[in-house]
Amino acid sequence: MDAYLIAVATVVLIYALLAIGLNLQYGDTGLINFGHVAFFAIGAYTSALLSLRGWPLPLTFLLAACFAAISAIPLGMAALRLREDYLAIVTLGFSETVRLVLQQEREITFGVQGVPGIPKLFGSLGGRLTDLAILAALLVAVALAAWATHWLKTSPFGRLLRAIRDNEAAVIALGKDPARFKIQVFMFGASLAGLAGAFYAHFLTFISPEQFVPLVTFHVWMGIILGGVGSLRGALAGTLLLVAFLEGSRFIRDLLPGIAEVQMASIRLAIVGLAIIVFVLYRPQGLFGKTDH
C-alpha cells in the first residue's frame, strides 16, 4: 500500500508541474494550449534517449526542459496570428504530430515498441528509497516552479501578461509588443512540461507514444478548471483533486460485484465525468476562484 501511495503522490506532482505551466499560459495570458502533452513527450524522450547513451541524468533533465522550450517557439509565433479557437486546433494538431513522429521514427525512438530500460532516477539507492528520493526531488521541483511562477505573476511581467489577456489592443496602444511575451510564456510552460516528462520517464523506466495522447492534456485542463483558472493554488489543489477522482474511482469495482473489467472502465469514466460536471455546476469558479493575488 505504501508503494501505491508513493506512486500516486509522484503522479500528482508530475501533473502539478504540467498544470503550473498551462495555468500561466491560459489563466494569466489567455493562450489556449491543447497540445501541452507534446512538450511532456519531448522532455520524456529527450532525457530517456540521452541517458541510454550514457549522458548524466542532471544534464538530460536540463536538456529535456531546454528542448521542450525551444520546440514551443513555433507555437508561440503561431499565437501571434491566430484567434483563440484556431490556436487551440493548431496546438492539438502539433501534439498529435509529435506523437505520430515518435510512433513512426523507429531508428531513434523505437516506434510503437517504446523505450525500455530507462535508468531509474536515484536507482542506486534501491527499492523504496529510490521512489522516496524521486518524490522528494519532485517536491523540490514543484516548489521551485510554484515560487518562480508566483514571482512572475506578481512582477511587472505578470501584470503585463494579464493585460494582454484582458485587452491586447490596449497593450499595443501603450507601445508594448505582446509577441515577445507570448513566446516567452509558451517557452516557460513548455520547459516545465519537459521537466515533468523527464521525471515521468525516469520514474516508470519505460515510455511509448501511446502514453502521450491528448487525454493527458485534457486531464491537466480539468485540474486547473477544478482548482480555479489563473490561481496558482488552484492549479495545485485541482491537480490533487483530479488524481483523487481518477485513482479513487478504481476501487468502485469492489462495490459493484459482477461487473466485467471492460465494463468497469466505462463506468469509471462516467463517474469521474459526472463528478467533474457536478463540481463545475456548483463551483464554476473552481476551488480558489479566478486568481489568488
Asked whether 125 and 61 are in contact (CB, 8 A), the reply is no
| The predicted structure's pLDDT at residue 292 | 42
pLDDT mean across residues, the chain: 86
Asked whether 225 and 27 are in contact (CB, 8 A), the reply is no
| The predicted structure's pLDDT at residue 293 | 41
Any idea where the domains of the chain sit in the sequence? 2-212
Question: What's the CA gap between 214 and 212, in Å, rounded?
Answer: 7
Q: Is the pLDDT of residue 14 over 70?
A: yes
| The predicted structure's pLDDT at residue 229 | 84
pLDDT digits (tens, 9 = 90+) for 114-134: 999 999 999 888 778 999 999
What average pLDDT score do residues 144-150 get?
Answer: 93
* Cell representation of residue 59: 544534464
Q: What is the DSSP letter of 214?
A: H
pTM for the structure as a whole: 0.89
What average pLDDT score do residues 15-30 get?
Answer: 90
| The predicted structure's pLDDT at residue 243 | 87
Chain position carrying cell 509588443: 177
